[in-house]
Each structure stands twice: as structure tokens, then as C-alpha cells.
Structure 1
């Protein structure tokens, strides 16, 4: 990966931070250099500076990972904290009911980014994780966000390449447009086997004080005869989060989700 020589130090540092992933949270300096396209000497110098500021840290084996200081700054200033804080009581209530995965996702570029996830040891298969991403066309949260997102974004996604994870994934422009229209019509997304044949994703929109969709609340449950019973639970919780964000009500106790 070759970059212009005039690239700023900040841009290079950003590439170093982006080299880490949840699957590979610790890297060697040479590994960072390969991933970023930086010369090893440049990567080593920038890593040393980031370590000095506690944005990165070194393990005993000299591998490098994201530092606590970076987590502290992100947590302190994140614009998603209020959303997560308002959503958490409702998510816990939904989790008490469904016993599988409950997730909160937001639109980020052309993907859904998951801010929070509650799970259980024996829950159905699920490919998402906190700070993980999925394509908009294949996930229930992504479909909700895309259905209510900018028209230009919908056009790009519908016209672009669409990966089929299973035979059920809407992987053509016509299929995706029809799915999005259905999401807008019924007020939620139901995705049986879109990402994995054994799992059903159900998501509902979370709205901000101005009524615009700011997030999607979703559950991932097994595909069985009871699967669709989670729809009213998810929709009720999503409306509750929306009201909490608007400041009109306090988050209810979890038992109200089953009433």
C-alpha cells in the first residue's frame, strides 16, 4: 500500500490505530508496517510516540495494542453515550424476554455499527459484536437504518454489489428495494436466515427527539415457531428508547416489555 509522501503525521497515526481489530488486538511493529504500508522505521517511530502518550501500549512480548488512554478519551467524549445509556434499560428488558442476542446499531458510512450487545452462553449463532459491523442489506438493523436513511445512500447500496450470505439474503437490486419498502410499510425488519440459516434477525427503528431514525434495536433468535413473537417486544422497546431520548418519559422496568 503506497501513500503520497506528503501524507500528514496525523493521517499515518490514524492508519496505525485502524490496523488493530477485535480478531487481532495485538500486533508487532512489522505487522503494523505491513498493514499500513508504512516503512518499518516510520511505523516504529510513530508507535513509540503513541505509546508515550498511552494511546498504544506494549505487552511483555513487545507486541502493541490499543492503550487505555485512547479508550478513556473515546468513552468520555463519545456522542453515542447518551443513546447507549438511554437504551440499556430497555435492552436488558428485551434480553430478559428473548434470552438470546439484543443489539443496538447505528448507521456509519455504508455499514451498521453495533454500539452495544447483550447475549447469553447458549444463544443462537450471531456474527455481530460490540464495535463490529455488518452490511446494511443483510442485517435487520442495517435494513431499518437503510430504509429510513438518505435516498442517495439507498441508491448506492441498491445499485452496488450485494453479497448473498445465504439464499435468503436480498442480493439483487429488485429484492433489496422490495425488502426496504416492506420495512417502511410494517415499521420493522424481519430477516429469517439472511446472514445465517439458523437465525432470525428482527429490528425496529429508534427515533431521536426530532423524529428522525438514529439507531436500530434488534434481536437475533433461532428460527422456530415462536420467533415472530419477539416482534412486539422489540417494537415496544424501540419506542420506549425513542421516548426516553425525547426526554418525555423515564425508561420503564423490564417487566413492562412483556405486558
Structure 2
């Protein structure tokens, strides 16, 4: 018998010691898509995910068969509707959205602009719904998109009512307003958060990409913890925050009562 060792037999149900699990690679493939890359060729999918083309194709075909991806006649891949079906079952999105929609509709009717509903996910806000008039000003926000906590109306509300330890963690980072590229002073942001808690409302004025005003208010859940934020976005000069504030806070309080807050 030669000195060469016999090949190791693969144990059923266990992955080899090298390489990522299949589920991690599949998630990397899905993460290759974003707002600026909604449709990708196999080569682009491979480069953006870091997965070799042959493996990327095999995984993409499996995801396409399940409905997580779709492939067009031109061979390009895009996100499939099956993911939307699954995402719609998330209680923090769909249940909240169902309760909030009538009140958001009322605000949209009054402002004729944008009404946003967002929740906190990690250190960002995620937009779970947006109602917009046909004549509303252009904005960068999209449903499913992520917004910074430190420089948006809904973000400031979610940050102001978050745990103090989390606030300290965020304030310890170098923060920059986007897209203006203006650094955020931690002391000024801390004062802003205190004012948001005192008033029960956040007001943000932006000059870029278009002059606008955002007014946001917290939505409380059954345990009197902030579970979401509601805001309106209007052109600067279109309405005064002191006029919008009571309407936004009233809508947020109504949604909170529907969610069981006292």
C-alpha cells in the first residue's frame, strides 16, 4: 500500500471546510442588486458578488427557478416577484403599513406632495411606504430604500427615541450630511435629538438636490416604544413646518393608538 493518504469521504449533510455555505453565496448574489443596478448580466453579477461565473450561473438559475430572480430575453437578471411576496409578510412592514395607510392618505391629500413611513433597521432607516402626488417634487427616496438616521426627518425621529447607548454609538462616528458632504457636529446633533424628543417632531430643511422641508413624528407601539416614523416632504416655501407639524403629529398619534399605544 502506497504512502499516499486515501481521499477523504464527504460526510452527508456537512459542507466542506473551505468556502462559503451555499446560502451565503446566494445572499451575496441577491445583494449585488441595488437601486443603481436593477438588471445585471452574468458577468456583472459575478463581479459584484465576488462569485466565479460558473458558480454564479448555477446559483442564479436555482434562484430563478424559485422566483427570487427573473431572466429577460436579453439574458440579464433582475430581482423576482417572489422576493416581494416574501417581504410583504414582514410584520414590521406590512402590518404597520396596513394601519398607517388611511392616515397617510389623508396627509397626502392635504399636502399633495410626499408622505413617508419608515422603520429603523440597524443603523439606518428603511422606507416601508411612500405616497406621492403626480405633481410632487422629485425626491431620492424609494420604498425599500435606506435613509441615514442623522440627516433625514424620519431618521432623526428614530434616532432621537432610540436607546441612549445606540445614540452614543452613532454620535461617536464621523457623520456627513449627504449629498451636501457637510460634516455633522456631534454636539449639535445631540442638541437636535433632545429638541426632537421635547417637541415630539423633527424638522429638516435641505437645499440639495432641491430645496425642501421635511416634518416627521414618532409612531409608538403597544409597549410605548417608537416603532416607526411618519413624515411629509414638501418644497421649501410650499408650507410652513408650524402648519404641517400638527397634522403630522395627529396622524402619527392616530396610528399609534391603532397599534395599541396609550
* Equivalent residue in structure 2 for 1:182, among 187, 192, 195: 195
- Match of 2:218, SS state, is strand
Q: 1:152 maps to what in 2?
A: 165
Q: How does 1:11-160 map to 2 (within 5 A)?
A: 11-160=24-173
Are the counterparts in 2 of residues 102 and 217 from structure 1 also a CA contact under 8 Å?
yes
Is the alpha carbon distance of 1:60 and 1:145 closer, same or farther for their aligned partners in structure 2, counting shifts above 3 Å?
same
Structure 2's unaligned 5+ residue stretches are 1-16
Are the counterparts in 2 of residues 168 and 193 from structure 1 also a CA contact under 8 Å?
no
Deviations 1:201-257 (A, max 9, x none): 110000001110000000101222732211111000000000111189xxxxxxxxx
Scaled by the length of structure 1, what TM-score is found?
0.88
Is the alpha carbon distance of 1:17 and 1:38 closer, same or farther for their aligned partners in structure 2, counting shifts above 3 Å?
same
Structure 1's unaligned 5+ residue stretches are 249-259
Structure number, greater radius of gyration = 2
Q: 2:3 maps to what in 1?
A: none
Question: Could you tell me how far apart the structure 1 residues matched to 2:80 and 2:218 are?
Answer: 34
Question: Could you tell me how far apart the structure 1 residues matched to 2:190 and 2:134 are?
Answer: 36
Higher relative contact order (CA 8 A, sep 6+): 1
Deviates more, 1:117-126 or 1:207-216: 117-126
Q: Does 1:240 align with 2:257?
A: no
- Match of 1:76, SS state, is coil
Question: Could you tell me how far apart the structure 2 residues matched to 1:177 and 1:116 are?
Answer: 28
Is the alpha carbon distance of 1:84 and 1:242 closer, same or farther for their aligned partners in structure 2, counting shifts above 3 Å?
same
Count of aligned residue pairs for this structure pair:
245
Question: Could you tell me how far apart the structure 1 residues matched to 2:182 and 2:228 are?
Answer: 22
The offset of 1:110, in angstroms, is 0.8
Question: Could you tell me how far apart the structure 1 residues matched to 2:92 and 2:201 are?
Answer: 25
